Copies of this chain bind each other. A is one copy, B any other.
Amino acid sequence: MSKMTIKVLAAHLGLSISTISKALKDSHEISATTKSKVLQAAAEMGYIPNPYASSLRKQKSKTIAVIIPEVSDSFFAQAINGIETVATLMQYHTLIYLSHDSFQVEKEIIKHCSNGRVDGVLISVSKQTTDTLHFDLLKKSNIPFVFFDRDLENYEAPKVLTNDFESGYLAARHLFSMGCSHPVFLSPSDSLSVCNRRYDGFVKASEEVGLINQPNNFKVVDCHQQPENITSQIIQILQKDSNIAGIIASVEDLAIHGYLACLELKLQIPNDILLIGFTSIKTADLFSPTLTTITQPAFEIGKRAATILFELIDNKGAQPSNYPVILPSTLIQRASTGNLTKKA
């Protein structure tokens, strides 16, 4: 089937391409009779004006981009749903891009977004991102953007975050109160601000109970590997230090692989070891044992970030607030932080 182009339309009507083009643009150079003839034929033959051409005129893509590291995490799935409730109301399309936690990919995506293709960007940065030049490019292009969940700590931009420091503190206090004096904090990266803030809270709680902070209670587990490799990294951590009596999993994947590691090592949760995970996973109640979680308001974070973005889109040139919006998380206690028999 041949594509219905302006060329085909011109040939059909016996007119020049330039005449057709001008008629479609409602140019004063073309007579009303010709315009009407062109429009009628275009409608009949199913001619669709090229969106690039029409966007050039309108300078509005009616599209926003959401850039996230991955889709297989409940937090991002729920945040996207929050974002889309707002975008749908605003009659915008939402494009989702995955950075796969690669700084290089993130930069490419931002470049792809930074020149009129989208009207705004919502982003949760990759774990490798420390450089900010690509965000400066967005600023220069006058395309508003809002960080959600994962931000760049010292970079000035609108942000919607959760209370990571307090949640890390709460998680650690909870493990201590259940009798665990030797927990380990698992993180997918040592440069991800969101996890570092959680760890800082963990450190503060440790200090309060008189534990001298040791750097080896922070362990990085590379989550961009085959599933069995993620589990085996945790197994190695637990084998190297048999005193570990609690795991704080700072992301969902680490909670799941924490379970699997304990299963392989025949460590009973919560008898031998406690487990708490930062996750909005909807199956926490189905796990054996059920999983204690720090549950983020994922849907609300997405919704709020989108609301701020549309305010910026509607009011281009407005100075966005650089104070982050903080929506608090909740500790939901379940069986994985129950009675610890081993007191390490």
Contacts and interface: CB of A to CB of B under 8 A. Distances in A.
A7 interface: no
A112 interface: yes
A81 B234 CA distance: 24
A77 interface: yes
Contacts of A155: none
Contacts of A63: 112
A260 interface: yes
A256 B55 CA distance: 44
Contacts of A19: none
A97 B282 CA distance: 23
Contacts of A117: 51-52
Given A50-B116, A256-B286, A282-B227, A98 B84 contact: yes
A4 B139 CA distance: 11
B98 A94 contact: yes
B1 A46 contact: no
Contact of A286 (B70, B84, B98, B259): B259
Nearest to A77: B72
A288 B288 CA distance: 5
A93 B98 contact: no
Interface string A39-67: 00000001011111101100000010000
Copies in the complex: 2
Contacts of A142: 1-3
A219 interface: no
A263 B287 contact: no
A80 B78 CA distance: 17
Contact of A78 (B72, B76, B141): B72
A115 interface: yes
Contact of A112 (B46, B93, B260): B93
A55 B4 CA distance: 17
A311 interface: no
Nearest to A46: B140
A283 B285 contact: no
A234 to B, nearest CB: 14
Contacts of A76: 71
A109 interface: yes
A273 to B, nearest CB: 15
A309 B214 CA distance: 52
A95 interface: yes
14 contacts: A3-B140, A48-B114, A50-B116, A52-B56, A84-B100, A93-B109, A94-B98, A95-B95, A96-B97, A256-B282, A259-B283, A283-B283, A286-B287, A288-B289
Interface of A: 1-4, 46, 48-53, 55-56, 63, 70-72, 74, 76-78, 80-81, 84, 88, 93-98, 100, 105, 108-109, 112, 114-117, 137, 139-142, 227, 256, 259-260, 263, 282-283, 285-289
Given A50-B56, A72-B77, 20 more contacts: A1-B139, A4-B140, A49-B115, A51-B116, A52-B117, A56-B56, A63-B112, A71-B77, A71-B80, A93-B109, A93-B112, A96-B98, A227-B282, A256-B286, A259-B283, A259-B286, A260-B286, A263-B286, A286-B288, A287-B287
